[in-house]
Structure 1
Amino acid sequence: MSLKTNSRLPVGNKDFTNATVVIIGAGISGMCMAIDLIKQNRCRNFVILEKSSSVGGTWSDNKYPGCCCDVWSSLYSYSFEQNPNWSREYPSQEEIHAYLVRVAEKYGLFKHIRFSSTVEAAGWNEDESKWKVSVKVDGQKDSEFASSYTLDADFLVSAVGQLNLPREPNIPGLNEFQGKMMHSARWDWSYDFSQKRVAIIGNGATAAQILPEVAQVASHVTVYQRTPNWIAPRLDAPVSAFHQALLTYLPPIRWRKRALQMEFRELLYAAITDNDSDFAQMMRDGCTNMMKTHFPDQPQLWEKLTPNYAPGCKRVIISDDYYPALARDNVDLETRPITRITQKGIEVGAEDSQQYDLIVLATGFKTVEFMYPIEIYGKNGRSLGDIWKDGATAYKGITVEDLPNFGMFYGPNTNLGHNSIILMIEAQSRYLNTIVAEVIRARQQGKTLTITPKLEAMKEFNGRIQTVLRKTSFADPNCNSWYKTDDGIITNNWSGTVIDYQLELSELHWHDYSIEGSGKDAILAKKNVKLGRVREESIFSDSTLLLGALGIVAAAGGYFLAPRWRRTR
Structure 2
Amino acid sequence: MDQEPEQHRAFTKSSVVIVGGGFSGMCMAIKLLEAGIRDFIILEKSTGFGGTWKDNAYPGCCCDVLSTLYSYSFEQNANWTRRYPAQGEILDYVREVATKYKLYSFVRFGSEVTGATWDKKSKEWNVSVRVLSSMEAEACGTYTVQTKFFISGVGQLNQPYWPQIPGQDRFHGKIMHAARWDWSYDLKGKRIAIIGNGASAVQIAPEVAKVASQLTIFQRTPKWIIAREDNEVKQWKRVLFRNVPFLLPKVRALTMDGREESYEELIRAGSAESAKLTKTSIKFLRKELPDRPDLWEILTPKYAPGCKRILITDDYYKTLRLSHVALDTRDIQTITEEGIDVLDLKTKEGESLEFDLIVFATGFQTQEFLHGIDVRGVDGRPLGDIWEKGASALYGMTVESLPNFGIFYGPNTNLGHNSIILMIEAQARYLLTIVKEVLKAAQRGQGLAITPRLERLREWNVQLQKDLDKTTFADPLCSSWYKNKEGHITNNWSGTVVEYQKLLSKVDWSDFELEGDDSGASPLPSGQVAIGRVVEESLIGPQAMIGGVAVGALAAVSYLVYRNRRRIPLLA
The two structures have a TM-score, normalised by structure 2, of 0.94
Residues 452-491 of structure 1: CA deviation (Å, up to 9, x unaligned): 1000110111111100101110011111110000110000
Residues 1:502 and 1:299: Cα distance change in structure 2 (over 3 Å): same
Which deviates more from structure 2 when the two are superposed, residues 197-206 or residues 298-307? 298-307
1:539 aligned residue: 539
Deviation of 1:180 (Å): 0.5
1:439 aligned residue: 438
Residues 1:353 and 1:119: Cα distance change in structure 2 (over 3 Å): same
1:202 aligned residue: 196
Note if contact 1:392-1:412 (Cα within 8 Å) is conserved in structure 2.
yes
2:22 aligned residue: 27
Note if contact 2:20-2:154 (Cα within 8 Å) is conserved in structure 1.
yes
The letter for the 2-side match of 1:203 is: N
1:399 aligned residue: 398
Q: Does 1:418 align with 2:413?
A: no
The letter for the 2-side match of 1:201 is: I
Work out the CA distance in 1 between the residues paired with 2:298 and 2:565. Answer: 65
1:450 aligned residue: 449
2:458 aligned residue: 459
After superposition, the CA RMSD in angstroms is 2.1
Matches within 5 A, 1:242-261: 242-261=236-255
Residues 1:240 and 1:384: Cα distance change in structure 2 (over 3 Å): same
SS in 2 for 1:305: coil
Runs (4+) of structure 1 exceeding 2 A deviation are 8-14, 297-300, 518-527, 539-562
Note if contact 1:211-1:322 (Cα within 8 Å) is conserved in structure 2.
yes
Matches within 5 A, 1:159-308: 159-308=153-302
SS in 2 for 1:489: coil
Deviation of 1:523 (Å): 5.7
Note if contact 1:11-1:46 (Cα within 8 Å) is conserved in structure 2.
no
Note if contact 1:10-1:46 (Cα within 8 Å) is conserved in structure 2.
no
Work out the CA distance in 2 between the residues paired with 1:256 and 1:167. Answer: 39
1:62 aligned residue: 56
Residues 1:480 and 1:525: Cα distance change in structure 2 (over 3 Å): closer
Q: Does 1:318 align with 2:317?
A: no
Residues 1:325 and 1:127: Cα distance change in structure 2 (over 3 Å): same
Deviation of 1:297 (Å): 4.7
Deviation of 1:172 (Å): 1.1
Deviation of 1:120 (Å): 0.5
Q: Does 1:530 align with 2:530?
A: yes
Work out the CA distance in 2 between the residues paired with 1:555 and 1:211. Answer: 45
Note if contact 2:82-2:232 (Cα within 8 Å) is conserved in structure 1.
yes
Work out the CA distance in 2 between the residues paired with 1:262 and 1:221. Answer: 38
Deviation of 1:305 (Å): 0.4
Residues 138-185 of structure 1: CA deviation (Å, up to 9, x unaligned): 101111110000001000000000000001012111221110010000
Deviation of 1:187 (Å): 0.2
1:3 aligned residue: none
Work out the CA distance in 2 between the residues paired with 1:287 and 1:525. Answer: 52
Work out the CA distance in 2 between the residues paired with 1:316 and 1:294. Answer: 17
Work out the CA distance in 2 between the residues paired with 1:59 and 1:521. Answer: 47
2:382 aligned residue: 383
2:346 aligned residue: none
Work out the CA distance in 2 between the residues paired with 1:370 and 1:58. Answer: 14
Note if contact 1:508-1:530 (Cα within 8 Å) is conserved in structure 2.
yes
Note if contact 1:11-1:18 (Cα within 8 Å) is conserved in structure 2.
no
State the identity %.
Answer: 52
Work out the CA distance in 1 between the residues paired with 2:405 and 2:558. Answer: 50
SS in 2 for 1:74: helix
Deviation of 1:24 (Å): 0.3
Q: Does 1:135 align with 2:129?
A: yes
2:79 aligned residue: 85
Deviation of 1:236 (Å): 0.1
Note if contact 2:46-2:109 (Cα within 8 Å) is conserved in structure 1.
yes
Note if contact 2:422-2:497 (Cα within 8 Å) is conserved in structure 1.
yes
Work out the CA distance in 2 between the residues paired with 1:208 and 1:558. Answer: 46
SS in 1 for 2:164: coil
SS in 1 for 2:175: strand
SS in 2 for 1:259: helix
Gaps of 5+ in 2: 344-348
The two structures have a TM-score, normalised by structure 1, of 0.94
Deviation of 1:13 (Å): 3.6
Gaps of 5+ in 1: 1-7, 565-569
